[in-house]
């Protein structure tokens, strides 16, 4: 057998068999290496697939589309001592700021709201430790925007404070709470300034341009107790007001019903009405002359009822509007007053008496005239004495 691998071109049978075995072994080794390499490639592909599966999927963005927001989850609220005895609807409205009342009542009626996993009604009374299920609710863009930009924190001059209540001296030009055309007020600013306070609620209200004593409750029990006193006319509320002209000394009581109405633009107004008006509300104001000034009279005004704009309307309807009143006042006189330094309405919540909600003791508070009003009084000469 001829072979190129042997000298002279000849090879024995044994040499040929040895060569064949070596060639076969080389082929087996090659096959084994190819098989290993194939397995490695398959393993690499498998690992790559698993890694891609674990990575988040890319989100397709649509130009002009709103970003998707994850749906709010169910919440469980635990009733604390301050909310003991409160109605369910009022409890929910306090926790679901910005949600319309109609929606709050709908989720109660539908059974989505539960107390301790049981069905309930709007007038169900809560007890300490109750667990209230609140379903997911969405708020309007306006409310969400307000939550994203909260009121700036602010403290106000404190007249009295304890564990039950806070009495402050509210400046003029600040609303007591946010509302139509006003993004925030005193109560929102106080809550931001006191984030650890469990409860801060207005006991009563003052007009935006009125300065003086304002009560804020720090406990639910105190809020109810104090509001009951205001409702039952057990408080004493006296204001200082500068009115136009010479107030008649004999006019000490004004007992005229008031009627609220809206202007075409939706702004609220109040007027004196007749006693037979079904929408009229009895309103009583007591008047005492404190000081007679040039062109005006400083009055101590005590209200027995707390109607909207009561003092302003009662005084103006009797021919003596309050200085600086931009709704019911004498606008020409107001312009003259501004030239003399009075740039706000001269109405100040001066004194307030009430029974302390915890001790029952009678509390008497007084807030002196703010500097801008006191300075005006000091610079106005009283009328010349008759010769």
Quote the tokens at residue 269. 């107004």
**Does 386 have pLDDT greater than 90?**
no
- Has residue 343 been placed in a domain? yes
Q: What is the dihedral of CA 352, 354, 358, 360, to 10 degrees?
A: 140
Asked if 133 and 163 sit in the same domain, the reply is no
pLDDT of 143 reads 61
pLDDT of 73 reads 84
Q: Residue 363 — pLDDT band, cuts 50, 70, 90?
A: very high
Q: Of 207, 279, 325, 378, which is the active-site residue?
A: 207
> Which of 34-48, 256-270, 299-313 has the lowest average pLDDT?
34-48
The boundaries of the domain holding residue 362 are 158-379
Closest CA to 110 of 87, 139, 142, 133: 133
Using CA atoms, how far apart are residues 67 and 147, in angstroms rounded to an integer? 18
207 in active site: yes
Distances (CA, A) of 265 to 78, 260, 261, 327, 346: 43, 15, 11, 14, 26
Residue 22: φ, ψ to 5°: -65, -40
Residues 6+ apart with CB under 8 A from 192: 150, 151, 152, 153, 154
Asked if 186 and 318 sit in the same domain, the reply is yes
Asked if 206 and 126 sit in the same domain, the reply is no
**pLDDT tens digits, residue range 43-53?**
666 666 555 55
Asked if 111 and 163 sit in the same domain, the reply is no
Overall domain count for the chain: 2
Residue where the block lists tokens 């430790």: 129
Asked if 95 and 223 sit in the same domain, the reply is no
Q: What share of the chain is helix, strand, coil (3-state, %, to 5)?
A: 30, 25, 45
**Does 89 have pLDDT greater than 60?**
yes
**pLDDT tens digits, residue range 145-164?**
666 667 899 999 999 999 99
What's this model's pTM, rounded to 2 decimal places?
Answer: 0.71
């Amino acid at each position: 057998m001829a072979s190129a691998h042997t000298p002279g071109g000849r090879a024995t049978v044994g040499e040929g068999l040895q060569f064949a075995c070596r060639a076969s072994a080389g082929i087996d080794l090659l096959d084994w290496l190819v098989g290993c390499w194939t397995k490695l490639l398959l393993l690499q592909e498998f690992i790559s697939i698993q890694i891609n599966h674990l990575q988040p999927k890319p989100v397709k963005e649509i130009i002009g589309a709103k970003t998707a927001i994850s749906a709010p989850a169910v919440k469980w609220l635990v009733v604390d001592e301050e909310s003991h005895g409160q109605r369910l609807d009022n409890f929910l409205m306090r926790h679901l700021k910005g949600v319309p009342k109609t929606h709050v009542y709908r989720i109660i009626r539908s059974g989505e709201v539960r107390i301790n996993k049981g069905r309930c009604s709007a007038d169900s009374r809560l007890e300490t430790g109750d667990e209230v299920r609140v379903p997911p609710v969405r708020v309007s863009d306006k409310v969400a925007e307000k939550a994203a930009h909260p009121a700036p924190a602010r403290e106000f001059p404190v007249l009295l404070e304890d564990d039950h209540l806070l009495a402050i001296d509210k400046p003029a030009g600040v609303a007591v709470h946010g509302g139509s055309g006003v993004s925030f007020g005193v109560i929102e600013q106080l809550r931001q300034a006191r984030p650890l306070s469990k409860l801060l609620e207005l006991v009563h209200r003052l007009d935006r341009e009125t300065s003086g004593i304002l009560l804020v409750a720090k406990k639910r029990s105190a809020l109810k107790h104090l509001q009951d006193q205001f409702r039952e006319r057990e408080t004493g509320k006296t204001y200082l007001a500068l009115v136009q002209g010479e107030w008649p000394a004999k006019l000490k009581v004004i007992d005229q019903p008031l009627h609220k109405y809206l202007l075409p633009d939706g702004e609220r107004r109040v007027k004196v009405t007749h006693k037979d008006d079904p929408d009229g509300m009895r309103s009583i104001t007591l008047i005492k002359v404190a000081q007679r000034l040039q062109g005006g009279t400083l009055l101590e005004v005590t209200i027995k009822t707390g109607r909207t704009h009561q003092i302003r309307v009662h005084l103006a309807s009797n021919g003596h509007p309050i200085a600086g009143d931009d709704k019911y006042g004498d606008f020409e006189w107001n312009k003259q007053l501004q030239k003399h330094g009075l740039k706000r309405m001269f109405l100040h919540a001066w004194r307030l008496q009430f029974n302390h909600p915890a001790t029952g003791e009678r509390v008497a508070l007084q807030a002196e005239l703010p500097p801008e009003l006191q300075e005006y009084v000091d610079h106005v000469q009283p009328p010349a004495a008759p010769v």
